[in-house]
Amino acid sequence: MSTFAVISDVHGNLEALQAVLTKIDELGVTSIYSLGDVVGYGPDPEACVLLTEKHCCLRLMGNHEYAVVHPESGVTFNATAKLALDWTRQRIQEARLEDRISELQPFHQQGETLFVHGSVQNALYEYLVESDRNGHSTFDEVVESLENDFIYFRLCFVGHNHKPFLATTEGFLHPHDGLREFQVPQEERLYVSVGSVGQPRDRDPRACFVTYDGAKITYHRVAYPFEITAGKIRSRGLPGVLADRLALGR
Ligand SMILES: [Fe+2]
């Protein structure tokens, strides 16, 4: 198996996406899978759509893409996300990119690997969380899912969470600067939350993505000039809180 990279949740952050694509190129990796939410929150949705179209062999639909092309869906976003969503929809419509977004799917299986935006249970919307919150799957339920649902696939790469972690039937691992490479035993089933390129929420502001070479999962962190992205968020009239959070990684 040749090494591939998995990115997710770019969220209109062009500076972070460019830094990640440069890093992936330096690694000599040519297959890039995008798990969705390329748009939403950030100031450059059109450029990020075009850049992922150019570089990614798979592009999934995230809940933000879905809300952009299905304004009637009535999906609940908080007030900040809703403001950003309406702004993003207008930009996408002006760039005539809706048709290309509406044809995306929220999951894709390739051999023993499943790529999905949200979770195995809910491809678009579900967050995987440490303790019960709003009915989302807890880590215990994720381990149960590994045992019960991983029948036709062995590996599952998910986005949406914005927090990188790796779950096996043995338990959970959180990557950190002392440990970012994990050997995957043959036959092991694995839930891989790949983190976020454009809006990390694990208190590390650096862009996050994953590579897999058939035996080893590696979590990468890439510093990028988030103050440039934050400046654009403010100058383009998006909520300032979306700019502030980039420096904090939350
Ligand atoms: Fe999402």
pLDDT at residue 103, rounded to an integer = 96
Ligand 1 center to 111 CA (angstroms): 24
Ligand 1 center to 28 CA (angstroms): 28
* DSSP-assigned letter for residue 72: G
pTM summary value: 0.95
Boundaries of domain holding 241: 4-248
Query: How many domains are contained in the chain?
Result: 1
Ligand 1 center to 235 CA (angstroms): 25
207 touches 16 (CB < 8 A): yes
Ligand 1 center to 104 CA (angstroms): 14
Q: For helices 226-235 and 240-248, what crossing angle results, to 10°?
A: 170
Strand ranges inside 146-199, DSSP E: 155-158, 165-168, 171-173, 181-183, 190-193
pLDDT at residue 74, rounded to an integer = 65
Ligand 1 center to 65 CA (angstroms): 9
C-alpha closest to that of 209 among 156, 159, 150, 146: 159
126 touches 76 (CB < 8 A): no
- List the pLDDT tens digit at each of the 250 positions of the chain: 799 999 999 999 999 999 999 999 999 999 999 999 999 999 999 999 999 999 999 999 999 999 999 988 867 788 898 999 999 999 999 999 999 999 999 999 999 999 999 998 889 988 887 776 677 788 888 888 888 888 889 999 999 999 999 998 888 889 999 899 999 988 899 999 999 999 999 999 999 999 999 999 999 999 999 999 999 999 999 999 999 999 999 9
For residue 51, the domain's CATH number is 3.60.21.10
